[in-house]
Structure 1
Amino acid sequence: MSTNQKKCQNCDQFYDQDFKFCPHCGQKANDELTIGVLFYNTISNYFSFDARFLKSFLPLVFKPGHLAMEFIKGKRLLYLHPAQMYLFISVIFFFVISFSTRELVSQANKFNEQVVSAQSEEELIKENSKVVLDSVQLEKVFKPLKENQEKLGLKDEDFQIADSIIKNANNERNMVKSEWGFDKKRIDSMIASGSGKESIYKEMGMSDNAGFLERRLFANLLNLIEGSGAGGMVQAFFDSIPIAMFFLLPLFAFILKIFYFNKGTYAHHLVFSFYFFSFLFTVFAILFALNRFVFPIPDGIDWLVALSTYFYFLFALMKFYGQHWFLTWIKSGVITFIFTIFIIPTSFALLLAFSFLFY
C-alpha cells in the first residue's frame, strides 16, 4: 500500500491523499464539521438546494418546456431532478400560504361561534315572544262570544273549530324548528346537562348500527353546533391540499398522454407535469409572498399573472412536443378546460368532504 494514501471516514476505503473527494463514495476529503457545512448538508440532502437548483430555476421560469426536454434528452445531472424540484418548491409554497391559513382558521372559528351565538339568541327571542294560551285563557276569550252566541249567529261547532285551531297553533309554537334537521334546543339542553355523546348522536338522528363514516359525520356536526369545528375543518382542508396535488399531478400527466399518445411514454408526460407544476407553485408563491409581506398587489395584476400561466403552458407544450402552434393552442385550451372545469372542482368537493369527516 502506498504511503501517500488516506482512509475515507465514510466508506473506509483508501485513496490518494491529494484527492479532494473520495473516488469510492464521493465524500469530501477534508469534511471538517462546521455550522456552515452542517447547514449546507441539511439543505442539499433534503431539498437538493445546490448548484443544480440555481441552474434550473431561471430556465424553469423563462424557458417554458426547456427543462423537461433536456431531461428527456438525457441531461439528468446538469439540472435538478423534476421530482426534487417539485418537492422543494411546493414546500416553499405551502410554507408561504401557511401564514394566511392561520388567519383563515382563526376567522372560521370566530364565524362559527358568531353563528351559534346568533342562533341561540334567535331561539331565545322566539321563546320569549311565544303566546301560549291555556284552557283558562281560552275560556276567558270564548266567554263573551258564548254569551252573545245567538246574536252573533254562532254555533257550537264554530267554537270547537276555533278551539282546535288555537291548540294546533300553540303546539306549533312549542316545537323548536331547527335548520340542522333536528331539535337543536333539545341538543343544547343535553350538552349543557353533560349527556354522553352517544345519546346526543342518537337524538340528532344517528342510526343504531352506524358505521365509521356516519359516526364521524355526527361527531363533526356536533362540533359545529358547539362552535368549535369550522377552524379545524379549514385547517384540515389546507393540510389535505399537498396530498391532493400528488394525485392531481399524475392525473394531469395522464390527460397529456391522451392528447399526445404518440409523443413518448407516460414517464415523459410526468416529467413535463413535474416541471409545469413547479412553475405554477413558483409563480403563486411569489404572488402570495408579495401580497403578504411586501405590499398588496392590485387584483387586476394578480389575475393577469394567473392568466399568464396559460400562455406559459401553451409555449411549453409547443417546445416539448414540437407540434404546430395552432394545433397546440387547441389542445392546450381543451386540456385547460377539462382540468379546471371538471378535475379541480371535483377534487375541491372531495377535499371538502374529506376535511369535514376527518378534521
Structure 2
Amino acid sequence: MPNQDINCKNCENKFDANFEYCPHCGQKVNDKLTVGVLFSNTIKNYFSVDARFFKSFFPLLLKPGYLPSKFIEGKRLLYLHPAQLYLFSSIVFFFLFSFKVSKQERQIRESVKSEKTLKQTIDSIKEYNTTDSLAAATVIKKLKQSQDKTGLKDEELAKLDSIIKGQNYKGDDFMTFGFNESKVDSLIAINAPDSLITKEMGRKEDAGYFTKKAYTQVLKLYKDNGSLASILHSFYDTIPIALFFLLPIFAFILKILFFNKNPFAYHLVFAFYYFSFLFSTFIILLIMNYIWSGFPGFLQFLIVLSTFIYLCIAVKKFYNQSWISSFLKSSLATFIYFVIVIPIAITILSTFAFLAY
C-alpha cells in the first residue's frame, strides 16, 4: 500500500503522512493548540532555555571573546544568537532591577512626604519660638503625643526642638524650589489657574513652549508628593529602549577604533555579546545584594572593574591585537562611551522623563 501524502499546515508542502514533523519546515504534524503549548512555545521562542543556553552562558562569563569569534567563524547554531542572548540577559536584569526601583520609589515618596510634613509643622509652631525651656518642652511633648498622626520621626522632632528654642535651623530639605512657596500655596488653595501660579513661580509672559512646559511640570511636581517617584519610574522605563540605540553606538566606536578590520556587523556581534556579559554581571551583583545585605563595597568595585579587564581580553582575542593595543583601545572605547555617550544619554532621558511623566 503506497504511502499517503499530506500537506503541511505551515509551509503547505507535501510529505509522507507517517512523518511526525514536516521535513521542509520542521513543524509538528499534530500540534494541537492548548494553553500549555502556547506558553511552552513562547518560552522556547523568546528565552530558549535549552542546551544552547548553558553552552553559551559559561563561555560568555569565563572566556572573553570566545562566543563572538565562534559566531563569526560560522558556528551559529551551537550557541545562542547574540541578539537572543542579549535579549534574555536584559529581560532578567530589568526584572530583578524592577524590585530595586520599586524600593527607591517608596523611599522617595516617604522622604518627600516626611519633608512636607516637617515644613507644615514648622509653619504651625513659629509662634512658639521661645527660649523658655519649659514652654519648649511642653510643645515637644504635644508633638510626640501626636507623632503617630503626624508621621514625624525622632530626628525631625529634634529639629523642631531647636526651632522652638529659638535656634536657627538652616534645614536640609529633600526638595527645594526657587520661588515663594507660601504665595504659591495660597494660589493653589484657591484653585488659581496654572498659568497664574507658574507666573508667580517666575515664568515670563513671553516664555517659549518648552519653558512653559518645564514650569508646568515643576508645578505638577510641587503639588504631588509622588511626582518625583513617577519621574524616576518614567526614567527607568526608557532605559531598555535607549539601549537599543546605545548598543549600536558602542559598536560604531569599535568600528572607528578598528577601521581597517571587518564590516560593521562584526563589531555589532561583539557588542551584543559584551553587553550580554555586562547584564549577566549586573544580575550577579543584584542577586548578591538581595541575599547579602552586607555585601562589601570593595568586592562590588572589583566585580565592576572585572568588566573592563574582560573587555581588554575580549578585544585582544576577537581583534587579534597586542596587549598594549587592546588596553589602549579598550580604555579609549570605555572613556568615549561611559564618559561622553552615557552622560549625554542620561541627560536626554532625564529631560524626556521630566517632560513626559
* TM-score band w.r.t. shorter chain: 0.7 to 0.9
Q: Answer yes or no: is 1:282 the counterpart of 2:283.
A: no
2:182 to 185, 203, 211: 185
Kindly provide the CA deviation profile for residues 27-60 of structure 1, in whole angstroms up to 9, marking residues without a partner as x.
0234244565333201122334444333222221
Output the CA distance in 2 between the equivalents of 1:67 and 1:8.
36
Offset of 1:212 from its aligned partner? 4.3
Change (3 A) 1:115 1:220: farther
1:258 to 243, 256, 259: 256
Query: Could you say which residue in structure 1 is the equivalent of 2:44?
Result: 44
User: Residues 200-279 of structure 1 correspond to what in structure 2 (within 5 A)?
Assistant: 200-208=197-205, 210-226=207-223, 227-279=225-277
Stretches of structure 1 that go unaligned for 5 or more consecutive residues are 130-177
Output the CA distance in 2 between the equivalents of 1:224 and 1:92.
32
User: Residues 150-161 of structure 1 correspond to what in structure 2 (within 5 A)?
Assistant: none
**8 A contact 1:112–1:229 mirrored in 2:** no
Query: Could you say which residue in structure 2 is the equivalent of 1:72?
Result: 72
Change (3 A) 1:40 1:55: farther
Query: Could you say which residue in structure 1 is the equivalent of 2:321?
Result: 323
Query: Could you say which residue in structure 2 is the equivalent of 1:103?
Result: 103
Amino acid in the other structure paired with 1:192: A
Kindly provide the CA deviation profile for residues 94-125 of structure 1, in whole angstroms up to 9, marking residues without a partner as x.
00010010010111112222333334444556
Change (3 A) 1:38 1:110: same
Query: Could you say which residue in structure 2 is the equivalent of 1:115?
Result: 115
Query: Could you say which residue in structure 1 is the equivalent of 2:23?
Result: 23
Offset of 1:323 from its aligned partner? 1.0
Offset of 1:127 from its aligned partner? 7.8
TM-score, structure 1 normalization: 0.78
Percentage of pairs with the same residue:
46
Identify the structure with bigger relative contact order (alpha carbons < 8 Å, sequence gap 6+): 1
Change (3 A) 1:57 1:272: same
Output the CA distance in 2 between the equivalents of 1:54 and 1:212.
53
Amino acid in the other structure paired with 1:253: A
Q: Secondary structure at the match of 1:297?
A: coil
2:191 to 187, 190, 194: 194
Q: Secondary structure at the match of 1:248?
A: helix
Q: Secondary structure at the match of 1:15?
A: strand
**8 A contact 2:3–2:17 mirrored in 1:** no
Change (3 A) 1:342 1:124: farther
Amino acid in the other structure paired with 2:319: Y
Offset of 1:276 from its aligned partner? 0.1
Output the CA distance in 2 between the equivalents of 1:228 and 1:295.
27
TM-score, structure 2 normalization: 0.79
**8 A contact 1:64–1:315 mirrored in 2:** yes
Stretches of structure 2 that go unaligned for 5 or more consecutive residues are 130-174
Offset of 1:281 from its aligned partner? 0.2
**8 A contact 1:257–1:266 mirrored in 2:** yes
- The two structures, once aligned, show a CA RMSD in angstroms of 2.6
Output the CA distance in 2 between the equivalents of 1:358 and 1:267.
34
Number of equivalent positions: 312
Output the CA distance in 2 between the equivalents of 1:193 and 1:333.
58
Change (3 A) 1:126 1:224: farther
